[in-house]
Amino acid sequence: MNLTINGKPTVAEPRAGQCLRTFLRDQSWFGPKKGCDAGDCGACTVWMDGKPVHSCLFPAVRAANREVTTIEGLACDGELHPMQKQFLGAQGFQCGFCTAGMIMTSATFNETDKKELPRLLKGNLCRCTGYHAIEDAINGVQHVVEDCHGKSAGLSLGNPLAQSIITGQARYTADYSVEGMLHLKVLRSPHAHARIKSINRDKALLIPGVHSIYTWEDVPRRLFTTATHDDYHVDPDDTYILDNVVRFVGQRIAAVVAETEGAAEQACRLLEVEYEVLPAVFDPEAAMLEGAPVLHQGKNATSRIGNPKRNILREIHGENGSVDKGFRESAVIYEGSFETHRQQHAQLETHISITSLDEAGRLHVRTSTQTPSLTKAKLAYLFELYPDNIHLYTERVGGGFGAKQEMLSEDLCTLATLATGRPVKWEFTRTEEYIGAVTRHPFSMRVKLGAKADGTLTAMYMRVVCNTGAYGNHGGEVMGHSLNESFALYRCANKKADAFSVYTNSVPAGAFRGYGITQTSFAMESAMDELAWKLGMSPVEFRRKNMIRPGDTLLSIWGGPSDLEIGSYGLEECLDKTDAALSSGRGKTKPEGDEWLEGRGIAMSMLDCGPPTEHRSEARLDLTATGEYKLAIGSAEFGNGTITVHRQIAATVLGCGVDRISIINADTDKAPYDSGTFASTGTLVGGGAVLAAVTVLKNQLVTLASRYTGIPVESCELTREGVDCNGTLLPLSELLDKATADGQKLNAVRRAYAAPRSVSFNVQGFRIAVHRITGEIQILQSVHAADAGTVMNPMQCAGQVEGGVAQGIGWTLMEQMVMNEQGEITNPTFRNNRIPSFADIPRTEVIFADTYDRVGPLGAKPMSESPVNPIAPALANALANATGVRFASLPFTPPRIFEQLLNAKKP
């Protein structure tokens, strides 16, 4: 077949059923990405004879004699297309995985089209940005500012990889080819609970191209946890690489490696598995009852499961003061039950790993992870490898949100590569993300609050049941975290919780932005509103009266001191500014008509800056011969913006611009050990390590310059070009030469830990309209105030807030993973489980509190994870305000709103 790709005449033969996307990628045009492979996300958009099409739906054979343009061909004679420049100027991306498709779509828009973005962008999904930055990019709004030497921190500087992202050159895990690659596919369980009696692979092995098939009998029989934490003891060892018992529909049963994906798929279909189907349990309350099917029979204390016979992974009972006494002292009590549901991370890049062995027998794992060092350690443990014989790295990662704080694909690829000696690739399909990855934990919560007549909180109680699914991975830690900040946010002498993390035969839950706070915040902040109304107080006034204040000890349900402190306090400012914004008259007015009801709601949340358990990061800084700084740090970048911030911190201390700082990250060979990027540690811990290392190197440089010039240290200042010694410049290259001759090494290595820890605050306000007949919600105004301490990069930080708000709106109003009675997720596609598109997300007014944190680097606090937390309760409170009905079960879809309003009307 002849065709033209990006102006280049090409001759290649596609397979009969091949889509254009993979065909283009076979020709090494890696720009078109796979987000869904089903025409819903638009990440694969290319132009066919100048018209935009989704290349995943386009039969490759039809491209014969036609002209295809991918993102790589959009620039003309080295000159970027105006839309590419605009995406640079507004930084209309975070992870960048959707960007090629966004640009190839929006580059076709004329001025009229730009007024219709909600409709015209419905075929382009972004999970990171909340679309605000994309809208600005399309409209040519400039956000990126010029760097200023020595003053980078606090500026809206662009991502160092921005140029490669907008030209399609950024290499994500799949954008890589290696000779002799085998493709891995897995057969997944159709049963929620079953014992595998036999697996017959005879027919499958006859498929041409099939190399090997692995089942539970072929893997190391070692229990482990897929969750990654620095201290693995916090998670239970309850999982085998492949098992002879399946505990959820979608659990992997067998892995096939073959010369082509097609052969591997066909072999999976031909595997004959004989099951002994076991009774299954899906409701965590039922799972705790005597006589319920037991999921992890026989596993004991060494697996770190609290009560395996009752399917209880862990239970927590804690009390400060006495809630009994508190309720006795109260004049008003509110009690209510709340439910939250599963949510898929839906990061646009699915899980993917490519493993290979080099000639020396060293294992290389190219993968999409948030925790390179920990995943390496886990592979070393599982396969009994000497850790130095493993090189694990990410290149560009297309989103995480916690989904990649989990080892889900690396182990099987490693198994196959070690067995075959061949490179092996395994890329999850979008459907596999829904049925075989992890989700946000569903919670059911019973809240009881008491207050005196003057509004003083006297008691807070919560009973929490978390559904961890078939495996425990993050279950215990998520539950522990969920009981912390939602309680500690309020001054109250008596706090208590009883909580259970419970196994059920459903897809495992895992780490997800917010990490349990999102769920308890929904219940607690909804309950606080109800209590306020009962007291006859406005919810804002009630919160002002009871929220923590500077100097308070942070206390939840556990006694004893912790390393947490209020290192800066912007909560009141956030609350005041959000409240004022909602009263300002900004935002849209309610649509006309009696059917529309209007309401407003506010919710607040607090997040500990970093996890309570061990977390460390190490930065290594070298001054190179060219007078540039090379920064190596193990933390991962997946759209969260850490590398941008790390460069800003370094440049600020070193008195130069960020262009002098090159970064190597997330590579176990080239960067030091790092616990990974999760639990809001990118700026705090990673940034802390960077700050420590650059400070050491700066001091070295200045001290040496002083020694060489005889000028006192106090009169020497490090600048972009060298050390300014009282007016005389000692260039960095000269300093380096002298130091080298002296046997001095100009580098620094420093570590940082997540201790002590501060707290960050978020307040969300919504004004909404609710249609009382259809159940439709329109968001009229969205305001988010965030206390991030020093805002290192206002553009990027606002982007994180907007993205968090959008994910929260998706969880609250739209997304719904539907599980049938057999435990099967029945809507495992973007088409049937809609994540927000451009049209669903309002502009959010983002306000930053003016604070400086005494714990965080340069006064900064984390602000990527936490913005999602107050979204659901703020919407619930607005909905209650509009309708007079408390909606306590997520999500608030129109049919559910309609039904509950109808029931409320009935006498």
Partner 1 sequence: MDLNTITEYRRETNAEAVQNWQSGYSWLAGGTWLFSEPQPEIHTLIDIESFAWPSLTVSSKGLEIGATCKIAELEAFIAPPEWKAAPLFRECCRSLLASFKIWNEATVGGNVCMSLPAGAMISLTAALEGVCTLWPRNGTPREVSVVDFVTDNHANVLRPGELLRSIFLPESALRKTYAFRRFSLTKEGRSSVLLIGTRCPESGSIIITVTAATKRPVQLKFTTHPTAEALKQALDTAIPEDLYFDDFHGTPPHRRHLTCHFAQEIRQELSAQ
Chain positions contacting partner 1, by CB under 8 A:
15-19, 22, 37-40, 42, 45, 48, 51-54, 56-59, 61-62, 105, 118-124, 260-262, 265-266, 269, 429, 773-776, 813-814, 816, 818, 826-827, 831-834, 836-837, 839-840, 893-895, 898-899
Between 268 and 645, CB nearer to partner 1: 268
% helix, strand, coil for the chain, step of 5: 30, 25, 45
In this structure, what token pair is assigned to residue 417?
Answer: 């590569």
- DSSP 8-state class, residue 588: P
Between 53 and 499, CB nearer to partner 1: 53
Helices (H), 338-452: 372-383, 410-420, 430-436
- Comparing CA positions, the residue from 867, 845, 797 lying closest to residue 648 is 797
In this structure, what token pair is assigned to residue 112?
Answer: 């009229």
Instruction: At 642, give phi and psi (nearest 5°).
Output: -65, -40
Give the shortest CB-841-to-partner 1 separation in angstroms.
Answer: 9
Torsion of CA 830, 834, 840, 845, to 10 degrees: -80
Give the shortest CB-860-to-partner 1 separation in angstroms.
Answer: 35
Give the shortest CB-270-to-partner 1 separation in angstroms.
Answer: 11
Between 54 and 422, CB nearer to partner 1: 54
Between 510 and 828, CB nearer to partner 1: 828
Give the shortest CB-117-to-partner 1 separation in angstroms.
Answer: 11
- Please list, in sequence order, all residues whose beta carbon lies within 8 angstroms of the beta carbon of residue 618, skipping any fewer than 6 positions away: 633, 634, 672, 673, 674, 689, 749, 750, 751, 752
In this structure, what token pair is assigned to residue 369?
Answer: 């992870």
Between 818 and 904, CB nearer to partner 1: 818
Between 260 and 322, CB nearer to partner 1: 260
Between 17 and 361, CB nearer to partner 1: 17
- Please list, in sequence order, all residues whose beta carbon lies within 8 angstroms of the beta carbon of residue 207, skipping any fewer than 6 positions away: 258, 263, 266, 267, 270
Residues 95, 403 contacting (CB under 8 angstroms):
no
Task: Give DSSP secondary structure letters for 246-311.
Answer: E-STT-EEEEEEESSHHHHHHHHHH-EEEEEE------HHHHTSTTSPPSSTT--GGGT-SBGGGT
Across 412-550, the runs of DSSP E, i.e. the strands, are 424-427, 439-440, 443-451, 457-469, 495-503
Evaluated on CA atoms 124, 126, 131, 136, the torsion sign reads: negative
Give the shortest CB-839-to-partner 1 separation in angstroms.
Answer: 4
Give the shortest CB-15-to-partner 1 separation in angstroms.
Answer: 7
Between 51 and 906, CB nearer to partner 1: 51
SS3 238: coil
Between 53 and 704, CB nearer to partner 1: 53
Give the shortest CB-810-to-partner 1 separation in angstroms.
Answer: 9
Between 145 and 818, CB nearer to partner 1: 818
Element (H, E) at 3: strand 2-5
Could you give the CA distance from residue 91 to residue 350 in angstroms, rounded to a whole number?
23
Could you give the CA distance from residue 442 to residue 465 in angstroms, rounded to a whole number?
9
- Comparing CA positions, the residue from 200, 213, 223 lying closest to residue 254 is 213
* Bridge partners for 490 per DSSP: 547
Residues 896, 813 contacting (CB under 8 angstroms):
no
Between 567 and 775, CB nearer to partner 1: 775
- DSSP 8-state class, residue 547: B
Give the shortest CB-53-to-partner 1 separation in angstroms.
Answer: 6
Between 69 and 546, CB nearer to partner 1: 69
Amino acid identity, residue 360?
Answer: A
- Comparing CA positions, the residue from 258, 242, 262, 263 lying closest to residue 188 is 242
Give the shortest CB-72-to-partner 1 separation in angstroms.
Answer: 19
Give the shortest CB-879-to-partner 1 separation in angstroms.
Answer: 16
Give the shortest CB-783-to-partner 1 separation in angstroms.
Answer: 20
Could you give the CA distance from residue 806 to residue 843 in angstroms, rounded to a whole number?
10
Give the shortest CB-218-to-partner 1 separation in angstroms.
Answer: 25
Between 267 and 382, CB nearer to partner 1: 267
Cis bond before residue 293 (omega within 30° of 0)? no
Give the shortest CB-451-to-partner 1 separation in angstroms.
Answer: 37
Give the shortest CB-118-to-partner 1 separation in angstroms.
Answer: 6
Between 24 and 445, CB nearer to partner 1: 24
Could you give the CA distance from residue 27 to residue 882 in angstroms, rounded to a whole number?
56
Give the shortest CB-526-to-partner 1 separation in angstroms.
Answer: 22
Could you give the CA distance from residue 34 to residue 98 in angstroms, rounded to a whole number?
9
Between 125 and 295, CB nearer to partner 1: 125
Residues 874, 574 contacting (CB under 8 angstroms):
no
In this structure, what token pair is assigned to residue 256?
Answer: 């096939």
- Comparing CA positions, the residue from 209, 360, 339 lying closest to residue 270 is 209
Give ∠ CA 735-736-738 in degrees, rounded to 5: 65
